[in-house]
Structure 1
């Protein structure tokens, strides 16, 4: 994702030809932030800011290249510039697309939803606008797009098209200040637009992915490159070393604080968070690129430089490999373990290293045509070159047709969306036949609802109930898991009143139940399945009790690979243990070990899973009639 001057050594250079120190190390830190955010989001909730660090570096470096070309030749060759950019970016993109799509085809058809659009967006560098048009969400972790991370590459490439055209105009000015002002104005305008869109209630996807609202790091980095273009090349003195070190430490402190505290898609992140991170990144880039700066030499240590040089490939590979590994782990029942993260990280480093050495570097040195000759011409081959050539030929021979097959058979919806749609259509038909309102919640395209979790032990009924609750006595409020189970619920409980919607949390369910109670439509027994889409606080359970009054209550525990699920189920079981007339339906333990009864996301039930869901509710309703529970709210537990 970062851009370096096109030299055989790969070393970043100044406008005068000297090497910029510390930037490879800074790339390593930035890509590390992104990796931790995606692999272990709870550890670094604001790690997505690493992308904005890359934006600043890319704007700074690419403008320094243009200034160097202008200084050396007196002109800017647009076609040569764009050809170099394509040579730098496209080979790795093509390889990642071919290999990842082929692996996704073998792993899960769900991963192929919309893959043709994603591939076109990736190769044409318009992924960010494709995702905006599809209503995708960068911050959603359910049913993620295979090439979601390509949005930033698209934004950078669009900048690379625009910047040289602007340079032809602004570089006609004589002073550095007048050259930098238009670039700085565009950067500030983009930063203000991000805040304005967020304040106006725009979708986070639009704000985050928009080229107009998220390119300020690129333009401000370019403006700084212009302002520093005639900076003295002699090493900084002692005072300069102290200043550089202090500025770098302050910049890293701001970035670290934001990475730990800033919440994804929050109003604060768009209003000032991204902007503050960009200012901090500008300060760090200024400090580490000063000639001979100690902080730049510290960042140039070998491990950081190795990662930094391969950061482009690491960024491209990590996300699709994580999505594929997570899908495989979920299907194998390993979704709650870190297996997917560890495997995807190892594969990312291996694939990025191989791509860098055998694909990216040869194309950068001798061009695509020259690289093809080297790869596939048998003349003067060494044994190692022959092995490399055969391996590349095999990869292309396998992945080209597999990618074509993947595009051809890609489904319109994920299996979880199909499960939801099955229940949704029957619920709408039943409501229509009864003359009632339509059911809530269309499943969003590209976003999948989340169900859920784990359960605690419950006392079994001490005696068989003499009677049973029937469907006509039950009001059920739930999320997409209940929606997907609706056909089986109506079979098990004819006449049950169900209100289920996608992406609904417990507080929303409290509001729904309150409205039913106000209209006098709340039935004698209440069933609630709302633990999938976020934490369940004790306060929300107390509010639920106040809304439903003395009615018996069934809380359905959650089953999903989500970090909040264990706490959700703990709170549900604790609430039930503290109150008579409240029991937990053991959906989680009932469906555990039967991934074939769930959609490929491991969350939403198919018909067999729906039967387990309804059976867990039936068992909980029977438990409500046991002597231990039938005494109701008014009798405290010991």
Structure 2
């Protein structure tokens, strides 16, 4: 379709598919792990459409009016941003304090369209689902708006070239350079979020879409022949197939996603856009059907609303002890669609048609009131009157840290103070006695059963504990329950890291006779890691702490830990998950990290496992063979 055409067929339907990919990725991540590619489809469409609009203006008026272009973009983007920010921040104020951490920076990034760089500067992790950043999804909007500022400036320069085909070359070069930069940063092991959020490393879809618009604008509009329809439909099917395969197989933040995954998805999106926007293309007409077109027209609002509402609903559900079951995505969808529809009809469209001043007159001028318009005006006035001051309160009272970060910091500060004090005195590890039952470590399965050992009281000086941020947050309560316990805990630690730590301690002679390991929160736990851990523990008793978190891998982690403890002598399971499940108020707002009461439950679960380990009889002890 040439630049003079009034409307591109199929793009609304493609928008619906793209926003659907993103929603499924965020609401049902296991169902579509690569659904984040929907954003890259949006990038290609945006680059193609905006460049086509500039070409249309150039052909119609002979010039590009920069101020008018930027004013149209502001009318299109800002009204929805404003209402989403006001309403979402007000809801977050009621839902949970963790959602307000850094909210002032996030709002500034959203309003000035620099969210992607704000998140990069703050060290945010796009792929971390339990980090409550209210406006994280605004990063892509920021990147697009930066493109909208730069593109017309580039266009004014390149459109002066004599031959139109050369207009596309600078745009294509910028796109290819951005794609190579993403791959180069991935090869250099750069932070995945930096690669993903960067305007320099993730704008190739926008520039390549713009280059394609320039190339296609040279052709006069003509009806497709039968052969042309077949080619167009075939290309669209190939493009959709590639996007579908990538959406189901590409892993978030993985090297393969940056080393070809995003680039291939962009090529597929370019193919689809080329196929559906050709004049009279059957593929385009197929995508123009309802309800795809209805969703596509409101896709911008759907994209803006869904993430803040997901954060609010998740926070409310966690506080109520409901977890993040199917109720959370269902409630999020039930709120997102009507919110986006109302915003589109009563805020976005009026401002887009008559500008902000005209919309204000329409909304709040009594002379123009009809009964329906009066209801709309009253509703808008009430929303602004409530949400504007609440947003101000939220910004003014926003905490510096999340509740989970505060609990981790509480444990970290106490741990560091205890380490500093111990360096000035004598370590308990030097005087730790051999652990009970150590003499029976070589008993063979067929040997006669030894006499049942007496009940042994394990003291803190007998225990080495290695764990993640959950153990770190529980450190004050662990030291109270087990005075003299040695704890090595850190944020975002996985089981294989714990295996190395335990092995190093064993080699240096500092590993005590009872080893407690809590490392199931941050990733899968497999049999090989558990076997390696027990080998590193050697002739010592081992306590494994199961995990409590609303994360995809937790059920499998706990099943593997339970099975390993049941099958191995000298291993017991501390049932932290079951112990804290009925008391969500003992946890931080993330539902993972314990506060003081939760720390007491954490320590009690370890004490219970120790009692199992050393109770005479058919308990999972070291000295008693399994039947």
Instruction: With the length of structure 2 as denominator, give the TM-score of the two structures.
Output: 0.94
Q: Look up the SS of the partner of 1:627 in the other structure.
A: coil
Match of 1:109 in 2: 97
Matches within 5 A, 1:465-484: 466-484=455-473
- 1:369 equivalent in alignment to 2:326: no
Deviation at 1:634, TM superposition (A): 7.6
Match of 1:554 in 2: 543
Deviation at 1:628, TM superposition (A): 4.0
- 1:230 equivalent in alignment to 2:218: yes
Matches within 5 A, 1:124-135: 124-135=112-123
Q: Is the 8 A contact 2:614 2:621 kept in 1?
A: no
After TM superposition, the structure 1 stretch with the greater mean CA deviation from structure 2, 197-206 or 88-97, is 197-206
Matches within 5 A, 1:284-299: 284-299=272-287
Deviation at 1:563, TM superposition (A): 1.2
- 1:508 equivalent in alignment to 2:497: yes
- 1:544 equivalent in alignment to 2:526: no
Deviation at 1:633, TM superposition (A): 5.2
Match of 1:526 in 2: 515
Deviation at 1:526, TM superposition (A): 0.7
Q: Structure 1 regions of 5+ residues with no counterpart?
A: 1-12, 438-462
What CA distance in whole angstroms lies between the structure 2 residues aligned with 1:500 and 1:380?
Answer: 66
Deviation at 1:176, TM superposition (A): 2.6
- 1:584 equivalent in alignment to 2:579: no
Match of 2:183 in 1: 195
Q: Pick closer, same or farther for the CA change 1:605–1:395 going to 2, 3 Å.
A: same
Deviation at 1:550, TM superposition (A): 2.3
Q: Look up the SS of the partner of 2:219 in the other structure.
A: coil
Match of 2:429 in 1: none
What CA distance in whole angstroms lies between the structure 2 residues aligned with 1:287 and 1:600?
Answer: 48
Q: Is the 8 A contact 1:550 1:632 kept in 2?
A: no
Match of 1:179 in 2: 167
Q: Look up the SS of the partner of 1:580 in the other structure.
A: coil
Deviation at 1:411, TM superposition (A): 0.2
- 1:432 equivalent in alignment to 2:434: no
Match of 1:448 in 2: none
Deviation at 1:466, TM superposition (A): 2.7
What CA distance in whole angstroms lies between the structure 1 residues aligned with 2:620 and 2:560?
Answer: 22
Instruction: With the length of structure 1 as denominator, give the TM-score of the two structures.
Output: 0.93
Q: Pick closer, same or farther for the CA change 1:436–1:88 going to 2, 3 Å.
A: farther
Deviation at 1:336, TM superposition (A): 4.1
Q: Is the 8 A contact 1:530 1:556 kept in 2?
A: yes
Match of 1:615 in 2: 604
- 1:77 equivalent in alignment to 2:68: no
Match of 2:437 in 1: none
What CA distance in whole angstroms lies between the structure 2 residues aligned with 1:503 and 1:54?
Answer: 33
Match of 2:592 among 603, 615, 622: 603
Q: Look up the SS of the partner of 2:466 in the other structure.
A: strand
Q: Is the 8 A contact 2:453 2:616 kept in 1?
A: no
What CA distance in whole angstroms lies between the structure 2 residues aligned with 1:68 and 1:545?
Answer: 69
What CA distance in whole angstroms lies between the structure 1 residues aligned with 2:620 and 2:146?
Answer: 68
Aligned residues: 601
Q: CA RMSD in A?
A: 1.5
Q: Is the 8 A contact 2:2 2:218 kept in 1?
A: no
Deviation at 1:175, TM superposition (A): 2.2
Match of 1:161 in 2: 149
Matches within 5 A, 1:18-37: 18-37=6-25
| Cα deviation code 1:313-357 (max 9, x no counterpart) | 000000000011001111111114111111011111010000000
Match of 1:401 in 2: 389
Deviation at 1:436, TM superposition (A): 8.1
Match of 1:99 in 2: 87
Deviation at 1:636, TM superposition (A): 4.9
What CA distance in whole angstroms lies between the structure 1 residues aligned with 2:285 and 2:173?
Answer: 32
Q: Is the 8 A contact 1:465 1:622 kept in 2?
A: no
Deviation at 1:380, TM superposition (A): 3.2
Match of 1:300 in 2: 288
- 1:494 equivalent in alignment to 2:483: yes
Matches within 5 A, 1:46-445: 46-435=34-423
What CA distance in whole angstroms lies between the structure 2 residues aligned with 1:323 and 1:295?
Answer: 36
Q: Is the 8 A contact 1:581 1:629 kept in 2?
A: no
What CA distance in whole angstroms lies between the structure 1 residues aligned with 2:590 and 2:129?
Answer: 11
Match of 2:564 among 558, 575, 598: 575
Runs ≥4 residues deviating over 3 A: 628-636
Match of 2:434 in 1: none
